[in-house]
Structure 1
Amino acid sequence: MSPSHRDATPAHRGTRRAPGRALSRRTMLGLGALVAVPASTLGALQLRSKDTAAEATTSPGRSSGPKPSASAAPPAVVAKGGGTVPFRPGKAMLGAYLSLSDRTTAQAQTLRREQLGRDERIAHVFYDWADLLPTSIAGLPAQAFPMISWRGTKLADITSGASDELIARTARRLKSLGRPVLLRWGWEMNGDWYAWSPSRNGKDPAGYIQSWRRIHGIFAEQGATNVSWVWSLNWNSSPAADWNTFAALYPGDKYVDWVGVSGYNLHREAPDKLFGPIYRSYAARKPIMITEVGSVDRGGRTKADWITLLAQWVEAHPAVGGVVWFDTDTHPGYAEKWRVDTDAASLAAYVAMAKSARFSG
């Protein structure tokens, strides 16, 4: 499968708004020609989701082999974890990267609060490698956890020690937040679209792991113990190679609090196709967070029905402790409206998910 999104050209990269301020998210590519899906497709999607959920995983990121019998015991799942942002079994935090064209951040938060009848539990923001990361986040709901996606750089710039002071400065600033914070450094490293991807660093996953551990160690030295570490993959690896598997890139249980995954419904993918392989690879070891998710709207109830399928999938997968929607219509260079209220049916499906007991975390 082609990757869900890439930084392919300067026009499609996340752009800096100002030094020290959050980045706009990079563009999503590879959508191809999208056509409307008839209502009957929903049943097919549901069947597809159920079928793929039963696949056995023989290696990280690759599903094959016979389906287990109906009497097979459910896989073991983690019952604790998450670091300073704790995982609560049976509960999932619902959050978003929120950027709406017609509103300020505070106004957008107010709108979602009115629509959902609750605040978001995770507020997702993006920063560049050299930015001054925040010591406070404007408009952050009182009970919300910030999730900071911090871009990387060439891995040699980290492993050589050349960036140690920049890393230490960042650690001190996040420490000064004085509250638990999710840190998602160097995300989607198993793709080929970022400077920190092993595919752009000699096809050597060891450089990524060494970089992660070095950053983790410097944060510890600076006393940034409020940070919860989110190791976040893309749902599929590009290229598909032994050096680019989930397992090859994993920094180790000691250095990871949450396992995250990005996955978008671009080509009618069922939720289990996007999130099942990573879930089955790590749910027994770490809580799982869907760190980026969205759905293309092909007209009718296609987007609403997919949101319902996502809610059903999370309900059936107890190790999922967080879902973070890419809730925006301001993404540069791309016309797709990822926001949850593009139509009444989609908003209603999202509100139903937000109000369910599963998402009361």
Structure 2
Amino acid sequence: MTPRAGAIWTAFLLAHALVAIAGWLLPSQPMGDVVLVYLPWSHSALTGGPIVGISESWVYPQLALVPMLLAQALALPLAGLLGTAPAYLVGWALLVTLCDALGLAALLRRRGRGREVAAWFWIAALLLLGPIAMYRIDAITLPLALAGGLWLVAHPRLAAAVLTVGAWIKVWPGVLLLAATASGRNGLRLLVTAAAACGVIVLPLLALGAGENLLGFLTAQNGRGLQIEAVFATPFLWAAVLGEAKIQYSFDILTYQVVAPAAQAVAAATTPAMAIVVAAIVILGLLRSRRGARWQLLVPPLALALTVALIVMNRVGSPQFTVWLIAPAMLWIIFDRTRAHTAAALVLLLCALTFCVYPLTYDGLLAAHGLPVLLLSLRNAMLVVLLVVAVRAVARTPLPTR
């Protein structure tokens, strides 16, 4: 190991330790989902109770239960000493750190200035985003998306399989596969491998009795309203500041939503709008690919544009969605560092703004105080700016000179 690689590994592990500990100290329960929902879900599956995604519908794809069960295994030796809930939190932090370490190993397996810069970018993003970067299921998908993106170069079949597994944990890694396919490199091979991987995943789930719950994660969002952190909820939050709208907790989906006369109509419009925007970005990528754009220069901004579109056009706006931006930004730094500066800076700014909202000022946001609403508005505005930057980069991907 070179001295520079050693410095990266040391900073990487220290950053994880600092962020993991911060989760115990900061307000608004940044570890809440892990102990309040992941622990009961995994405990139920292990003790003969209902199994989410199998015997009942679930908001996540079925493979999301696997890391929750693995955290149980890591927590088991600590349960007698710490108690069930604290041990599970420690087990989860260890699991995320281990997964991230495997992702970093894949990143640094080959030497290169771009890879080192991407590693430091990851460390900075983790520190700026805080505990939400570790204590959510999204943290497990980040190293999978990163490894899959890296392996698109030399191991496209392995990359497609890894990204498919990631998509069956949380849907978003699938956009990297979509971007790679649209870029025109090994498109058919990627699609065939992804279909085969889906078959390997789906057949056991059907055998276990998933049946009508198999794709429940695709329809689970249909009835929900606008979550307060969603980009399209921003005007309604300012209405709440003025007393003309309300923030209300939904016990059905365990989140806070805005309540206003037009909010439900806006929420209903987000799904078709998302489909249109995603399709338009994919078509733009296909056109640039047809004109000869190199796939290494096209895939990273295309993947980032699609990922940001999933966030901006979503009726849900959970703070952990910011985690999704890190892997595409890292791939952009690795493959095309000269054009990645603006996007990378915006992603780091988004991490910092998200941390300022959640968990630092989240209690004030729930009370519709002006400062946290302003911070969230800035965060949402920067998401739109990042979408424009990424789409513009796709549209201006360099073409071969004639």
Q: Which has the higher contact order (CA 8 A, sep 6+)?
A: 1
The structure in which a higher percent of residues are strand is 1
Larger radius of gyration: 2
The structure in which a higher percent of residues are helix is 2
- Report the TM-score when normalising by structure 2: 0.27
- Report the TM-score when normalising by structure 1: 0.29
